[in-house]
Structure 1
Amino acid sequence: MKWVTFISCLFLLSFTESKYLSRAYREAEPPTTIKHVSVLSDEHLEKICLVLFSQFIQKGTHEEVHKLVEDTLALAKKCTADEHSDVECTKPLSTVLLDEICHEEGIAAKYGFAPCCAQADLERHECFLAHKNGSRYYISPFPKLDPEATCKQFHDKKVEALNHYIYEAARRQPFTKIVTFLHGEKEYEEVLTECCQVEDKHACFDDKVAAATKRMLKAIGVEKHQCSVLRKFGMESLQGLKIAQMSQKFPKTNFQTIKDISGKIGHIYEECCRGDTLDCMLDRKKLTDYVCSHQDTLSSKLKHCCEGPILERGECIAHAENDDKPADLSPTVREFIDDQAVCQHYAENKGVHLAKFLCEYSRRHDELAPVMLLRLAKGYEEMLEKCCATEHPVTCLQEGEQLLNKHFAESTAIVKANCDLYKQLGSYLFQNEIIVRYGRKAPQLTSDKIRALTRRMVGVAADCCHLDGAHRVACAENHVDLALGFLCYLNEQHPVNKQVGKCCDTYTKRRECFIGLGPDPDYVPVPFNTEIVHFHADYCTAKPEEQQEKKQIMLFHIIQHKPDISEEQLATAIVDFTDVVTNCCSKENKEECFNTEIPKLIERTKAALGEQ
C-alpha cells in the first residue's frame, strides 16, 4: 500500500495536466479517416485491416475476414479518388471498420455482435472491445505447420500464405500491437524463403520457425507485462517506468519534454491494453512523427529510424541506442541530497520533486534497469520522509545515500552469483537448481508451470550473463521483472499461496521479496507418488529433452512432497536415482530392471527422508 501511495504521489500532480490536455487535444483534432491512411501502400493497409478484423472477429473464418478486408480496401480506393463519393469517407477509420462488420450480412448475428451493432458509435466501439477474449484456449492452439504443404502454398500463393499467418496469429492475440504482427509476418516470410529451398524442410522448420515464433511470443510477452503493470499498479507506475526509460534514451532532453513523451506513451499503452489496437497504432504514429520532427533536440541516434518505413519507425525508435550524455552533465545528483532547501522543495510539490529526481538520476545511469531506478526513487522518497522530520536533514540524507549504494552493490552481487552458477552448471542443471529454489516457495504450482517459470529464469541467464558487469545487471533486472511478472500472472489466474500473493502486491520490490521467501509455511505436502518416480524402459530411448522433462517432473515432485528437504538429502536421492537409471538402461531387459530396482530406490529414498 505504501508503494501505491508513493507512485501516486510521484506522478499524480505531474501528469494530471498533460493527461487532460491530451484528451482535449484528441477530441479537438479531426478524426483519422480512411483517406488519411492512404499514405500507406495497399499492401500495408491490407495487412492492418487484416489484423484488426481478425482481432475483432476472432472466431470468424479466414474467408469471412478476407471479404471484410477486400470491401474496406475497395472503399479506400474510392475515397482516395473522391472523398465525397461515399458517406463512409469522412467517418473515423474505427467507425468504418465496425460499419463493415455490422453491414456484412450474417457476420454480426453469427458471432454475437448484433447487440453491439444496435448501439451508437462510441458505445458500439466499447461493446466490440468488451467482446475481445485473450484467454489461452478461446481459440484452438496454433496449428502445427506441415512443411511440404506450407511451402507449396508459399510458392503458389505467397500473399495468401502470409495473410493466413497474420490471421491465425492476430485472432489469438486480440490485445497485441498491430506492428508486432507485421514484424512477425516479415520474419515468417524470411524463414519460409530459406526453409522451402532446402532439402530437409522438416529440420529447417523445427529450427527456424520455432525460433521466430519464440521471438514473437517474447515480444507479445513484454507487451502483456506492461499491461499487467498498468492494470495492477495503475497508469502512474507505467509512466514512472517510461520516465526512467525516456531519460536514459534522451539524456539531453529537458524534464518537461521527458514527462510529456512518457505521458503519451502511457496513453498509447492504455489503448492497446484495452484492445483498442487501431487508436494505439495511430497515436503511436503521431508520437513517432513528433519525435522524428524534433530529433535534433531529442537524440542524435534516431536518423536511421526516422528515414525508415513509416510502420517500422516506432519500433526502431523504441529499440534505438541511448543518446550520448551531455558533456557538461554532472556525474551525481547532489542537489537532491546536499541542498539545504531540498525538504522545502519536497514539501511544496512532492510529485514534481520525485519525478525530477527519477529523471535526473536515470539520465546519468543508463546502465541501470528502469525497475531498479524506480526502486531507488522509492528509497529516496523514504529517505525524505524520514530525514525531513529531523533537525539535520542534509546529514541524514547523506547517510541514507550510502544505503542506496549498498542496495545496488547487493543487486550486482546477486546477479554475479547466479551467472557464476549458470556458467558452472549449464542450462539444464541450472534450471534444476531454480526448480528446487522456487519449488520450495511455490510448491502448489503444477509441474508444467514450474518448468515454464524456470525456463524463463534460464533465459535470463542465457541472455544476460555474457554481458559486461554494468549491462549484465540491467539486463538481468529487466528479464527477471518479466519472469516474476509471469509468476504473478499465474497467481492471478489461480492463487498460489499467501506469500507469493504478498510479493506480487509490490512492484519495485518484487524481486527482493521473492528472494527472501522460504518454504510456504501453510503448505501441506502431497503424498509420495510412486508412479512419477517409476521410470520404464521407454525412458532409455526417449529424446534427451524428454528425459530431462521426466527427471524435472520427478525432482519437483520430491520438493512438493518434502519442501524442507536438505541439500544433502536431495543430492543423495538424485545420485541414487541416476545410478539406477544408468544401470537399467545398460541392461538387455531394461523393463525388468526398472521394475526391480525402482521400488528399492523408492524405499531407500523414503528411509533417507525419515519416512520409515
Structure 2
Amino acid sequence: MKLLKLTGFIFFLFFLTESLTLPTQPRDIENFNSTQKFIEDNIEYITIIAFAQYVQEATFEEMEKLVKDMVEYKDRCMADKTLPECSKLPNNVLQEKICAMEGLPQKHNFSHCCSKVDAQRRLCFFYNKKSDVGFLPPFPTLDPEEKCQAYESNRESLLNHFLYEVARRNPFVFAPTLLTVAVHFEEVAKSCCEEQNKVNCLQTRKMFLPTMMDAVKGMLCSASVTRFTFEYSRRHPDLSIPELLRIVQIYKDLLRNCCNTENPPGCYRYAEDKFNETTEKSLKMVQQECKHFQNLGKDGLKYHYLIRLTKIAPQLSTEELVSLGEKMVTAFTTCCTLSEEFACVDNLADLVFGELCGVNENRTINPAVDHCCKTNFAFRRPCFESLKADKTYVPPPFSQDLFTFHADMCQSQNEELQRKTDRFLVNLVKLKHELTDEELQSLFTNFANVVDKCCKAESPEVCFNEESPKIGN
C-alpha cells in the first residue's frame, strides 16, 4: 500500500481543502501543485474515505465501482489536463460521480443533495453524515491467522476493506487521520504476519479493533492547531485576525472537551456551527457600530466613543482619551464604507484597545481594564465592549471652571474648536460619571447650544457669563 510516510503533508489533501481556489501567489501555486500530486498518487484511498464518509450505507462493491471511475478520470486528466472536466475541484468531481451512480442517490436517500451544486452540495453531503452509526452492522473481525492469510493473499483488498469500514464509522474524522491509521495497520500486519507467533505479535502491537478505534479518536484529538489555523485562515480571507484567533481558541477548547468523551467525532461534528456562531456575533457587533456611524455621523460617533472610553477608563488623562476616541472614529470612517468592513473594523478597533492596554502595562488603569488587557488576546475587544462605567472611580471635586467659557471660544478655528469641544466632553464625563449616556449627551447638547447662541450674540462675553452656569444644572 503506497500510503504515505509524509503524514504531515497529507493535511493538504482535498478533503481539508474543499474550498480550494485557483492559486495566485508562488507559494500558493507550490502548495496547489503538491496537493494535486498527492491526489493523483492516492486517488483510490481518498475516494474510499470520501465515499464511505459521505454515503455510510453504501456497500463495498458500490465503493469499488466509484474507485474505478475515479481512477479512470485521473488517468484521462493525466493524459490531457486541458479537458473541461479536469479543471473542476476533486471533491466536486467525486460528488458528481456519486450522484451519477444509477439508483444510488435514491437507494441511500441523498438525492436531495444531488439537486444542488458546488458549495451547497458539499454542505448538504456534510450535513448528511451520521455520527450515530448504530445502523451499521458490527465491525467485521478476523482472527490473527485469517487476518494474515487475507493480507498475504490480497493485501490491497484487505487494506481497502479496513479503510472503508473505519471511514464509514467515523464520518467526521479528518482523512489524514484515517490514512495514518491505515499506514499503521499495514505496518503492523506486514511485521507480525512474518512472525512465528502471529497472535502474540498482533496483541503486543495492539492491532485489534478496539485499539484501532481508540487510535482513530486519539489521532484529529492530537491534530495540529498550527495546521488548522493555516487551513481555516486561507479559506476565510474575509475574517479579521482577532476573529480567526477567536475561532482557533474555540477549536482548541472543542478538542480539549471532545477528546475526553466516548464519541469525539459526534462531539466535534458541530464545530462549524460554533465557528459560525462566534463569527456572526462579531459581525453583528461591527454592523451595529457601522450603523451608529451612519446614524450619528463622524462627530456624533466620536462623542459616543468619548463617553464610552471615559466611562470605562476615567483614570486616563483628558488628552489620552481624546486621542483614543479620534483613533476609534478613524477606524469606522475608514472601514464602514468598504465591502470588507468586518475585517477592517475588527482589526483597527482592536489596535485602539491594544494602545489602551499598552498604557495599562505601564500603569494599571483600573481592575476592569486590567482584566480585559490580560484576557485572551482574541477576546480582548469583546471584553472591552461589554465593560460598564468603572465603579471604582472617584470623580474630582466639582469645579465651576469647567462650565465657564469666554469669547475666545468663538474665535477658535475649526480644528482648535473641535479639540476644546472634545476636551470639555471628556471632563464632563469624568465629573458627572454617575450620569447615564443619555443624560451626558443632554448636557453636551446644552453646551453646544450655548456656544452657538453666544457666538452669534452682539456681546459673546456677556452671553457666556449668563448662560455658562446653566450648562451643568
Report the TM-score when normalising by structure 2: 0.55
Distance apart, 1:447 and its partner CA: 1.1
Within 5 Å, give how 1:88-167 maps onto structure 2.
Answer: none
Gaps of 5+ in 1: 1-13, 15-245, 258-324, 605-612
One-letter code aligned to 2:373? C
Matched residue, 1:365:
236
In 1, Cα distance between equivalents of 2:415 and 2:406: 16
Distance apart, 1:390 and its partner CA: 1.8
Cα 1:349–1:338 shift into 2, 3 Å = closer
Question: Paired residue for 1:490, among 346, 359, 362?
Answer: 359
- Deviating 4+ runs (over 3 angstroms): 246-255, 325-337, 340-352
**Does structure 2 conserve the Cα–Cα contact (< 8 Å) formed by 1:251 and 1:326?**
no
Distance apart, 1:363 and its partner CA: 1.4
Cα 1:346–1:557 shift into 2, 3 Å = farther
Distance apart, 1:328 and its partner CA: 5.0
Distance apart, 1:392 and its partner CA: 2.5
One-letter code aligned to 1:382? D
Matched, 1:399 2:270: yes
Distance apart, 1:428 and its partner CA: 1.7
Cα 1:424–1:349 shift into 2, 3 Å = closer
Matched residue, 2:435:
565
Question: Paired residue for 2:173, among 339, 356, 378?
Answer: 339
Matched residue, 1:220:
none
Question: Paired residue for 2:247, among 336, 358, 376?
Answer: 376
Matched residue, 1:547:
417
Question: Paired residue for 2:336, among 449, 465, 475?
Answer: 465
Distance apart, 1:532 and its partner CA: 2.5
Matched, 1:474 2:308: no
Task: Select the structure of larger CA radius of gyration.
Answer: 2
In 1, Cα distance between equivalents of 2:453 and 2:216: 73
In 2, Cα distance between equivalents of 1:369 and 1:351: 26
Deviation string, structure 1 residues 97-130 (Cα, Å, up to 9, x no partner) = xxxxxxxxxxxxxxxxxxxxxxxxxxxxxxxxxx
One-letter code aligned to 1:426? G
Give SS of 1:378's match. Answer: helix
In 2, Cα distance between equivalents of 1:572 and 1:520: 21
Question: Paired residue for 2:292, among 401, 421, 425?
Answer: 421
Matched residue, 1:24:
none
**Does structure 1 conserve the Cα–Cα contact (< 8 Å) formed by 2:217 and 2:259?**
no
Distance apart, 1:592 and its partner CA: 1.8
Give SS of 1:508's match. Answer: helix
**Does structure 1 conserve the Cα–Cα contact (< 8 Å) formed by 2:221 and 2:255?**
no
In 2, Cα distance between equivalents of 1:351 and 1:496: 40
Distance apart, 1:574 and its partner CA: 2.1
Distance apart, 1:371 and its partner CA: 2.5
Matched residue, 1:521:
391
Cα 1:551–1:353 shift into 2, 3 Å = same
Cα 1:600–1:462 shift into 2, 3 Å = closer
Within 5 Å, give how 1:218-297 maps onto structure 2.
Answer: 250-252=27-29, 254=31
Matched residue, 1:505:
374
Quick one: percent identity of the two aligned structures?
A: 32
One-letter code aligned to 2:364? P
Give SS of 1:509's match. Answer: helix
In 2, Cα distance between equivalents of 1:529 and 1:344: 72
Q: Report how many aligned residue pairs link the two structures.
A: 289
Deviation string, structure 1 residues 388-416 (Cα, Å, up to 9, x no partner) = 21222222212343222111111111111
Question: Paired residue for 2:316, among 425, 445, 449?
Answer: 445
Matched, 1:591 2:461: yes
Cα 1:346–1:594 shift into 2, 3 Å = farther
Within 5 Å, give how 1:196-215 maps onto structure 2.
Answer: none
Q: Over the residues paired in the alignment, what is the CA RMSD in angstroms?
A: 3.3
Distance apart, 1:517 and its partner CA: 0.9
Cα 1:548–1:515 shift into 2, 3 Å = same
Matched residue, 2:401:
531
Deviation string, structure 1 residues 183-217 (Cα, Å, up to 9, x no partner) = xxxxxxxxxxxxxxxxxxxxxxxxxxxxxxxxxxx
Matched residue, 2:140:
none
In 2, Cα distance between equivalents of 1:438 and 1:475: 20
